[in-house]
Amino acid sequence: EMQVMQSQSDELISLVGALGSEYNCPVFSVGDFNAMERTAETGELDAPEIYEKLAGSLTDSKYSAVQTSFGTECAYDHIFIYGSASAQSFTMLSDDYMSAVSDHYPVYADIVID
């Protein structure tokens, strides 16, 4: 599936760039990208190269926010920003007791549009 994921990430980057240019506004891409940041625990199936491609073109609010709060679990869920906006805070509700419900976690960000 890596070829499909590569194609989809290219398509997403192109689409948000086109939307941002056409409407002269920031664009937010939120959800499960089936990709995680590269860490010592990241496996090949976590598709870190896809995350790196997305984070190379879009801003991950998780790392750009002034204030952050995380639970105990890693997740594929992200809030990416394209354009003139910045994250003031980012929260992921990812405590281990929630993993029995879903492998997705709620993510929140307070965003300032510049």
This prediction's pTM: 0.90
Closest CA to 105 of 67, 70, 75: 75
Q: Do 7 and 53 contact (CB within 8 A), yes or no?
A: no
Per-residue pLDDT of the chain (114 residues; tens, 9 = 90+): 899 999 999 999 999 999 999 999 999 999 989 999 988 888 888 999 999 999 999 999 999 999 999 888 888 899 999 999 999 999 998 888 888 888 788 899 999 998
Residue 113 — φ and ψ, nearest 5°? -90, 120
Cβ burial 69-91 (10 Å sphere, 16+ → b, else e): ebbeebbbbbbbbbbebbbeebb
| C-alpha span between 50 and 21 (Å, rounded) | 23
